[in-house]
Chain A
Amino acid sequence: MNHESAMSETSPNSLSHSSSATENSAASEENLRSDYIKICNFNFFYGSKQALFDISMDIPEREVTAFIGPSGCGKSTLLRNLNRMNDLIDGVRHEGDVIVNGQSIYDPHIEVISLRKRIGMVFQKSNPFPKSIYENIVYPLRVAGQNKKSVLDETVERSLKGAALWEEAKDRLHDSALGLSGGQMQRLCIARAIANRPEILLMDEPCSALDPIATAKVEELIHSLKKDFTIVIVTHNMQQATRCSQRTAFFYLGKLIEFDITTKVFGNPSQKQTEDYITGRFG
């Protein structure tokens, strides 16, 4: 594969295995891939309108990568392409490729359903199903054909603990999920996203509809999840990006302007546009 060339063409990857990812869990694993998600010369069109222009980037394994940029810059579009969610929209078209763990997601042999099983997603608006908390969490297992009660029970507990919702929800697992508060619902959606042990977790502005306390909880959660998952998060909140992510990509008008270690992007951006954006001069 063109693994080597990808390494060289993108920004400083030698430092990519930043402290937290390695110290937490990688003891048993050999070296983590620095190009776990590899986006190669990716162009994307809504009908005739081009939304993404020639994007190439490598997202490393078990780190939090933040996408920032003004509204309409294409960061959500790119995120939604990683699990092919954009396929649902009529008249879309793409060029280039996205390679996850060495395999193209557009490979005709790969089924989009199995791809989405490997890539969990949390949406901007929490979208619990009108079912019980329990059924919400086991949904990914049930659609995969897993109906064994012991497995389901174990999954519910693990996911809710993983999403820091266990203490609040353990006594009402069979109540409707719609009775939860906004922040709890979003954490429930995270629990659902991690229930079937995906490899990657995509988060599309997960905190934009939450109050500061709920936001803090979700951020804490992101922090604890990164030891098991590769996380890509889209956010409008630059403080959030600095708090949660190891790497930050700045998009503007469908182009990737800068992609680097978060502290560098915010502390010493190499591009003028990035600096203007993060200092609030536009956007």
Chain B
Amino acid sequence: MHATTKDTSLTRTHAAAGEPFVWLTAMGLTLGLLMVIGLLGIILANGVPVFWPKKVYEVTLKAGAKNPVPGGGESFAGELVQTRTKRIPVLTATGEVETDQKELQYFVGNKDVYGINFAFVSRVDIEKQALPKDIYSIERMEYGDAFVYPLDLTLADGTKIEAAVNPEFPSLFADAVKASNALRDEIGHIEKKEIGRINAQINDLKVKGGETKDSLNQIAQLEAQYEKLASDARTLRQEQQAAKITFRAPNGTIKTQPISEVVGFYQPNDLGLFQKIGIFLHNIWSFLSGEPREANTEGGIFPAIFGTFVMTLLMSIAVVPFGVLAAIYMREYAKQGILVRSVRIAVNNLAGVPSIVFGVFGLGFFVYFVGGGLDRWLFSDYLPTPTFGTGGILWAALTLALMTVPVVIVATEEAISAVPRGMKEGSLACGASKWQTIQRIVLPASVPGILTGLILAMARGAGEVAPLMLVGVVKLAPSLPIDGEFPFVHLERKFMHLGFHIYDLGFQSPDSEGAKPMVFATTLLLIVLVVLLNITAIFIRERLRKKYATGAF
């Protein structure tokens, strides 16, 4: 107190206290936080509303509007996507004048009718905008959503239900869709699972059995089974296609589609809050659990979630033992000197190598060399069709493990060196060998640190895309890497990945504007998945840390 009152030089005290530097550090943190929050905010704000049912406007344009109604006619219906200001020439009494005009973007659906997904309309061109209660939003297998007025429903037995007359129409329509969806699942099961299995067996017999009578007999039997299943599927499909729905698009086009094309429907302008929440949750669920449709721009992304999860898990299984063993040798056994120091520097530098380089290495080493070798050795019957000699989930996981191993090594080394010397000496003094000491004392005490390394490795590995494109990720994988077919875990299979899915949707899709909501939703999901994996690892780490807390030191 005394000293500060005597010191009258303000500037000196400020500099001495280092306050400008405190502010600087605080500013740095704030900037970082703002960027992270901003990014997450954008993703959240764009990703979550994708699932919320929006109102569908029926828009009637003035005669002579600049942008005509898509598909002809006077009006169209669509969800409002965004409003933006544009400087466009407007015809006035004195000629064309450049003015700022509001331009509205609508998602119009009905791609089969209009040929486009979006309509851009100037506000001045709009005659009227209405929210018709009886408009339906129908989700279809192909051509995306349709915003239409249903006219009638023809059931499989030929009964015709007029939408305008019969008040039962919505519930009957819903029943028909439900029945068709059940049939679709059944057909899917037959075609994918059973026929797939028989195909695999036939293929196997052809390769292994050659031309022997026995195998030819078996093949004939299997082919008979195949024929039966295929005809079952055909019958089911016919049954599914029997019922039909006829509807009218807002521009007057009338179209009839089999119910089998319909996935679901709702009346967007006639929903209560709870119905909206129900549809919201249903949409999220079908996004999470469904298979992708239409070049991935519609449907769910379950295979990508599953692929990402399995690959990250495989990577963790590979990277932890590898990294931990290397770290133990470097810290406990190797003679500390120039060699170990340079190895350590090399390991740290490895973390800075561009990931695509790891991808190229993975392709050359794992896929062509190791995989090719495995194929020649174990799967020579199947050649020239590669089994392991092509990209697959195992090679992708190993490539990423190689990429993230420096993180684990560094974290493990730090954890090992943090184990108190007294504890190691205590163990040795009890007559334990060095390896027993490492195994029973050092490793358990460094598990929390090792898990920290694993968390960092997972966060990096799960979000990585570039190397995966070379070693096994695909746009659309026909089957999951783990399924009910023997041997259940198929490490050689190609897989889908959320990160690649984002890239593919956003930049490789034929309709990237239409895929934009999916890109945001997928990004959000990838972030959620990484966060979930991390939280799990952190949870385990905290429990272990409590167990091995070395409070005595």
Q: Complex: how many Å from CA A281 to CA B76?
A: 106
- Rounded to whole Å, the gap between the CB of A270 and the closest CB of chain B is 34
Assuming A143-B427, A144-B431, A196-B431, what are 10 further A-B pairs, CB within 8 angstroms?
A117-B431, A120-B430, A123-B422, A123-B426, A127-B552, A128-B552, A129-B423, A139-B432, A178-B551, A193-B430
Q: Check if B420 is an interface residue, CB within 8 A of chain A.
A: yes
Taken together as a complex, chains A and B put the C-alpha atoms of A185 and B549 apart, in Å, by 15
Q: Is the CB of A85 within 8 A of B429?
A: yes
> Which of A120, A176, A185 interacts with B429 by CB under 8 Å?
A120
- Closest 8 A/B residue pairs (Cβ): A117-B431, A121-B429, A127-B426, A127-B422, A140-B430, A143-B432, A130-B548, A116-B431
Minimum CB–CB distance from B160 to chain A (whole Å) comes to 77
Contact partner of A129 (CB less than 8 A), chosen from B428, B433, B441, is: B441
Give the chain A neighbours of B432 by CB distance below 8 A: 113, 139-140, 143
Tell me, in angstroms, the Cα distance from A113 to B427 when the chains sit together: 11
A189 with B431: CB separation less than 8 A: no
Contacts of B294 in A (CB 8 A): none
Contact A189 B436 (CB under 8 A): no
Q: Quick check: A143 and B433 within 8 Å, CB to CB? A: yes
| Size band of the interface chain B makes with A | 20 to 34
Please tell me if A230 contacts chain B, counting CB pairs below 8 Å.
no
Q: Which residues of chain A have a CB within 8 Å of any CB of chain B?
A: 83, 85, 88, 90, 113-114, 116-117, 120-121, 123, 125-130, 139-140, 142-144, 176, 178, 185, 189, 192-193, 196
Q: Determine the residue in chain A with the shortest Cβ distance to B422.
A: A127
A113 near B433 (CB under 8 angstroms)?
Answer: yes
Collect the chain A residues with CB atoms within 8 Å of residue B549's CB. 130, 178
Residues facing A in B424-469 (CB within 8 A) are 425-433, 436, 440-441, 444-445
Q: Which residues of B pack against A, CB within 8 Å?
A: 335-336, 420, 422-423, 425-433, 436, 440-441, 444-445, 547-553
Task: Evaluate contact between B426 and A189: CB separation under 8 angstroms.
Answer: yes
CB-based contact A123/B425 at 8 Å = yes
Q: Which residues of B contact A192 (CB under 8 A)?
A: 426, 430
Chain A residues with Cβ below 8 Å from B444 are 130
Q: How far is the CA of A90 from the CA of B336 in the complex (A)?
A: 9
* CA distance in complex: A90, B333 (Å): 12
Beta-carbon contact of A127 and B431 below 8 Å: no
> Given A130-B444, A143-B436, is A125 in contact with B553 using a C-beta cutoff of 8 Å?
yes
Q: Is the CB of B550 within 8 A of A130?
A: yes
Q: Are B425 and A143 in contact (CB under 8 A)?
A: no
Partner of B427, one of A83, A90, A129, A185: A129
Contacts of B430 in A (CB 8 A): 116, 120, 139-140, 143, 192-193, 196
Contact check: which of A121, A128, A143 meets B440 at CB < 8 Å?
Answer: A143
Given A127-B422, A143-B436, A143-B440, A116:B428 Cβ within 8 A: yes
